[in-house]
Amino acid sequence: MSNPLDAPASGPTQQDVFAARRRIAGTARRTPLVLAEQLSLELGGNVHLKLESLQPTGSFKVRGAANRLLALSGEERERGVVAVSTGNHGRAVAHVARLLGVRATVCISTGVPANKVAALRATGAEIVIFGASQDEAEVKAQELRAERGLTLVHPFDDALVIAGQGTIGLELLEDLPEIDTVLVPLSGGGLVSGVAVALKAANAAVRVVAVSAEAAPVMVRSIEAGRPLQLPEEGTLADSLRGGIGLDNRLTFRLVRELVDEHVTVSEDEIAEALRFLLLREQLVAEGAAAVGVAALLSGRVKACGATAVVVSGRNIDMTALLELTRESST
């Protein structure tokens, strides 16, 4: 819990992102940025996809998890870590913990899909299923942290985690130096904050567009309200975008407010259409949360002007469900 008398917590700087890049180099992958040929034809511009779907564990979350765990003290490593997760963060933490020989406990809600629970179990982490929402699972994690002296690895509201995700921004600058617009999925805001810190330090004019699912709009509503809100969770194809931002949010609420130029939300139908487009036209597997940027472009909610990059944040989707979707029409 933050003490209101504390100075406001500060987010990571560009230097922290450079430090993260050195730290995580052996653990997270430098992912390719590819020209999306079909999407570019469709929209009449040059749209590039940053394929975080190719990371070990299937999402960008391995960047932040690696940066956080590699910064643990010897004593903290001894005691172990605990994470709360809709799946991808927990899996990334468990994966990096195993590489480092650190014990990991992951708390998840009953809303996490079976394919993700199975992948988590396979990492050897201890799984604790508790509560119907991410917020309830977090209460459990806090309890375990206190009881067992574990270090809580937050999925987004942590300067080291944000700096780890920010390494995506450094790679975008190298691969597309003329970048004008980047579309980034938004839930808790660790991803878009990190990317924006890295990009804006190099070029303040880069337009950062955050894309949320209509069914998971907590950060957008919070920004509108001027303070962190709590909303009931809804089901969405973009299951990795579920979860609140924390009423005591320390970093990402402020970073998103300061650094994001534009917010858009996309509907379930638009996400489904983007998943179909990615699979059938670009021949790429993505999960719902990772398809929201493409959904924003295909639906015309965001115009691709100039050199545009879309962060395709992960691939952890139930393949049967994805194939089912592709049989359902359009594209």
Ligand X SMILES: *Cc1c(COP(=O)(O)O)cnc(C)c1O
Select 196 or 304, whichever has its Cβ closest to ligand X: 196
Q: E strand or H helix at 47, and its extent?
A: strand 47-51
Show the tokens assigned to 214: 């209509």
Q: Does residue 293 touch ligand X according to CB under 6 A?
A: no
Interacting residue with ligand X among 211, 284, 289, 309 (CB under 6 A) = 289
Instruction: Considering only the stretches 121-129, 186-194, 222-230, 267-275, report the one whose residues sit in contact with ligand X under the rule CB under 6 A.
Output: 186-194
Position of minimal CB gap to ligand X: 314
Q: Does residue 109 touch ligand X according to CB under 6 A?
A: no
Spatial distance between the Cα atoms of 244 and 237, rounded to a whole number of angstroms: 17
Q: How many CA atoms lie within 13 A of 159 on its CB side?
A: 12
- How many other CB atoms are found less than 10 A from the CB of residue 42? 15
Q: E strand or H helix at 264, and its extent?
A: strand 262-266
Please answer whether residues 154 and 104 qualify as being in contact, where contact means their C-beta atoms are separated by less than 8 angstroms: no
Q: Does residue 156 touch ligand X according to CB under 6 A?
A: yes
Interacting residue with ligand X among 21, 23, 48, 61 (CB under 6 A) = 61
Q: Identify any residues that bridge with 263 across adjacent strands, giving them in sequence order.
A: 210
Select 111 or 189, whichever has its Cβ closest to ligand X: 189
Q: Does residue 217 touch ligand X according to CB under 6 A?
A: no
- As a whole number of Å, the CA-based R_g of the chain is 18
According to CB under 6 A, which residues from 224 to 243 bind ligand X?
A: 240-241
- For the bound state, the minimum distance from the C-beta of residue 311 to ligand X, rounded and expressed in Å, comes to 8
Please answer whether residues 65 and 58 qualify as being in contact, where contact means their C-beta atoms are separated by less than 8 angstroms: no
Q: Does residue 137 touch ligand X according to CB under 6 A?
A: no
Binding site for ligand X (CB under 6 A): 59, 61, 88, 156, 185-192, 240-241, 287, 289-290, 313-314
